[in-house]
Amino acid sequence: MAGAVPDDPSPLRPFTRVVRVVRTGSTNTDLREAVTADPGAWPHLSVLVAQTQDAGRGRAGRGWDTAPGTALTASVLLRPRVPPGRLPWLTLLAGLAVQRATAELTGVRTGLKWPNDVLVLDVGEEVDGWGTDRKVAGILAEALPAAGPHAAGPHAATSHAGAGHAGSLAVVLGTGVNVAQTRDQLPVPWATSLRLAADARVTTPGAEELLSGVGRHLADLLTRWEAAAGDARAAGLAEDVARVCVTLGRSVRAELPGGIEVTGTATALDNDGHLLLRTPEGAERTVRAGDVRHVRAG
């Protein structure tokens, strides 16, 4: 990462450490490398934010393209005190934090597409796989391999009993939000930005303001999630996610790893945050990973 700026003297709450860079390839790649090299320097809820990202990464090896200075591109280091099996919820909870912050700051109606997309709802012509919704943000969660005694960091010192692996998991949670792009600056027809989607009378929030909103919601959701040892249903979080997850109730085509395709109606999220589908034959299928496209019923 080039042009590292010294740590902010008045860090954005609730982040524990804020590092800004002017320009880099990928904040996820940088944060992974930095945490691996010096785990003790990156407490739970540290954030690395870049003004410009030149080689952003999306899910499934795809790129994440944002014109300089038009987007929020940030990665947060988390050491969630939950059993590893509950980790799929993290992407959904981060999506919920972004959904809430974007809606709150712009008045734009946003929702989640399982598992990692934040959408602006009902704003355009039909686009295959996206309906009339448009993608405004994406989440890329990457778990780090367990490391030595420092891996738990200071956060682990407060770990609650019963979480088992308390503090030993480290996850880099990347968030990309399209803030101010014009139509021409967006890489795909199903993308939008907050500026394009918001009422012209609304001032689009800056990336910093957005980051602060996302951080506040994320910290709140994580506290509730950890208090229930990762059981999102018990914490009432599964319901919160389901309320804004527009994939549920839709006809979808899921492309599973290995190229297998399953179609059906998305009915629910299971206890681990996986998507349940009811196939036309009446069978139930669990989608744990892969791409989901929203298709028109009938």
Could you say which of ligand ATP, ligand BTN, none residue 152 binds, taking C-beta under 5 to 8 angstroms by partner kind?
none
Tell me if 178 contacts ligand ATP by CB under 6 A.
yes
The distance of closest approach from Cβ of residue 18 to ligand ATP in the complex, given in angstroms and rounded to an integer, is 23
Both tokens of 122, joined, read 């009902």
The distance of closest approach from Cβ of residue 127 to ligand ATP in the complex, given in angstroms and rounded to an integer, is 11
Q: Is 245 exposed, middle or buried (0-12, 13-18, 19+ CB in 10 A)?
A: buried
The distance of closest approach from Cβ of residue 163 to ligand BTN in the complex, given in angstroms and rounded to an integer, is 27
Could you say which of ligand ATP, ligand BTN, none residue 174 binds, taking C-beta under 5 to 8 angstroms by partner kind?
ligand BTN
Return the residue nearest ligand BTN (CB atom): 138
The beta strand positions in 86-210, using DSSP E, are 110-113, 117-120, 134-144, 170-178
Cα angle 233-239-243, degrees, rounded to a multiple of 5: 160
Residues 125-164 that bind ligand ATP (CB under 6 A): 135
| Choice between 15 and 64, CB closer to ligand ATP | 64
The distance of closest approach from Cβ of residue 58 to ligand BTN in the complex, given in angstroms and rounded to an integer, is 3
Tell me if 188 contacts ligand ATP by CB under 6 A.
yes
- Specify whether the CB–CB gap between 222 and 240 falls below 8 A: no
In the shown chain, the binding pattern of residues 26 to 65 toward ligand ATP, with x for contact by CB under 6 A and - for none, equals --------------------------------x---xxxx
Which strands, in side-by-side order, build the sheet including 2-5?
A: 2-5, 17-24, 46-53, 71-78, 170-178, 134-144, 117-120, 110-113
CA 3 centroid distance within chain? 26
Among 48, 120, 191, 194, binds ligand ATP (CB under 6 A): 191
Give the type of residue at 211: L
The distance of closest approach from Cβ of residue 101 to ligand ATP in the complex, given in angstroms and rounded to an integer, is 17
- Backbone φ and ψ for 152, nearest 5 degrees, come out as -70, -30
Distance from C-alpha of 189 to C-alpha of 61, rounded to nearest angstrom: 20
CA distances from 143 to 17, 76, 88 (A): 19, 12, 11
Both tokens of 242, joined, read 């389901």
Could you say which of ligand ATP, ligand BTN, none residue 75 binds, taking C-beta under 5 to 8 angstroms by partner kind?
ligand BTN
Interface with ligand ATP (CB under 6 A): 58, 62-66, 135, 178, 187-188, 191
